[in-house]
Structure 1
Amino acid sequence: MPSATKSAFETAPPLDVAADLLALLHDTTTEQRADSQLEALTLAVSADLPVLLWGEPGIGKTAALNQLAGALALPLTTVIASVHEPSDFSGLPVVGDDPATQGVPMAPPDWAVRLVRAGHGLLFLDELSTAPPAVQAALLRVVLERRVGALRLPPGVRIVAAANPRSSAADGWELSPPLANRFVHLQWTYDHEVVVRGLGGTWPKAALPRLDPHRLPDAVAFARRAVCGLLTARPRLVHQLPSSEARRGGAWPSPRSWDMALRLIAFATAAGTSRGVLSMLVRGTVGDGPGLELLASLDRMDLPDPEALLADPASAVLPERGDLRQTVLDGVVQAVRKRPELSRWNAAWALLVLALETGAPDLVVVPAATLAALRRDDWQVPAAIEQLAGAVSVSQRADRVGAGARP
């Protein structure tokens, strides 16, 4: 005989049960995890620069923006650029009582009004590469001047866009050069381990970078010195409009994008950002070639002063990277060549011994041979040379140079 009462499971509406299951599927958490893409995105957002995420469909660009908005407690406003008309961004004309004297204001769309009322938020312009040229032209003022019709978006609004490569975009267009040059371009890819852990319920946590308030003036000075130094030496890098249409739709150098790069360097310096993240940001602003030149210039700026090393070799700390270490050792030898003194010569040998003990032996071969050739007749061969004998035959070379210099 069937039971007179039914369980709550049996009496619950089917869609309510489905809603409970969906709620469980959406119940995820976050964890602190090194993610260079997410770190680059949050730093650019912190620097108040528009960001454009490039990536294939379905790899999580939109999900990353949703997670970022939630972590930063910013309301997310998503606008699919490709399904809008130019007037949705430039505003619709509204004729008043006396247009001859009052003019015709441009009425903004509802999403812009909501952002202004909130005073802050994350504006997500999705499917940017499928927006036709007329819509891209209307977006210029939104991205650069933050104007939508007669409204100006408040300073608390950040702008992030997403686009698919033309090869995988539905009816895709190349970005116009004026619009492309207004963004920090980040290539968005998926990390297998991140995806697996995320599907298991744990995603990386997005957080704005922590800026050291004591480093702000030095960070600005460092960024200005780096960019201005490079452009002084390489004036042709100031503005280079690419010749191909595809490259014009990406990152390329202009006074505007160099200003963006300068801002990013300052923020990255104040936050102690890794070189990998800074590389993504710089190359995504001025392009790969100029960006790599700027990074190389930054490396040279961070190198220790040869005179400081010669003054206190016992406390010296040499760069870990082989190319930078070689540059430092060559600079030390060059400093001794310019002002040859016995104490400085001995200090240089001590630095070469330190380089031998903490790095690859082949890096000291050329500097040691050059330093040996600087020996004066009355300079006694230091014991440090003997420590280097296992890597290079410096002691014998120094003796031969000394014998050849005697009358």
Structure 2
Amino acid sequence: MTVNTMDVSAGHAMRVLRAGWAAQRAGALTASWMLHGRPGVGKTEIVRQLAAEQDARLYDLRLTTIESQDLRGLPYYDHETKKTLWYRPEDLPDDPAHPSLLFLDELTAAPPHLHPAVYGLLLERRVGPHHLPDTVFLVAAGNMIEDGAVAYEMGSALSDRLIHLHVRATASDWLENYAIPAGIHPAVLAFIRMRPDLLETTSEALDRGLMIATTPRSWERVSRIMRAVPDRALRRVMVAGTVGEAISAEFMLVADDIETSVSVERLLTAAPHERINLYPDSMHGLHALIYGLVGALGPQTAVPVIDVMAGIRTLDRHRTDCAYEKMPLAELCTHGFEMAIRRGLEQGLAQDFISHPAYAAYARERKAMGLE
């Protein structure tokens, strides 16, 4: 069954859920939300980040691991009333004084006999005698059959209880809204910047009968491998087992070149006259440098980061031994500064940019070209 709703990026889905949470808090809208999307596109991470932002307790309920009676709780007999009562399960939030997020993960993979048990939670915010406090925000997530995942068709009685969002991975959204703040390895960032089509390849892998596909989740695993395993031969095997042999071969060529040509720490600590010879001389090397600089930005590094970033724009004037004149240095510099400014604003570093001569010169040059 097709999910006939709008496709949204992970960052857009996060903004929608934030608005939904604010509306529920104001008493204007109480709803249950459903995140559809291929495995690894970031549905679970969206929920975790949302709970952290709202300072909410996260109740992560995997519906493939429970039975319907687990939601209702444990029965006991009340001898005075001669009635059967129910202990509340610990998986259901019950504190009205503190915000909570109840996450019903793998909803579409749960067997159909479990669906009636969650109908009440999704629409009436109750299961059996147990009611959810008004402070609980409710989100479900799942994959579809066509995603190659274990899944059941969602019946109309269940789908009608939800506001549906179809999450699709996009390279620009993943790079700027997740990968940079999460500290993903610069080689991964540079590679996805150059090959955005390889961020998520589930559909292509299914069409070709391949088991391994790339997803945002698998690239995060590649990042951890790059940081944790120094041996190149072993690293190649691990990366191939994560994103597939063909994509791994392409990625490792870029990663090896970046490893030998990019040193963010050396550039930041070098004397100004020494820096010019430390810049990488390839496009993917410059992309990795930019992401590395943005990741290194902080109160103690703002000045050298701005210096090094601004220097990218004029590399072709100072280095004739490389093919810089064929590279879009101005665009690279602008892209880097846009990301750095956003990250700087989050850290309260706006004044560091405004007062820095190199950034002021860059801004004046862009204004003179009519780009501001």
TM-score normalised by the chain length of structure 1? 0.38
TM-score normalised by the chain length of structure 2? 0.42
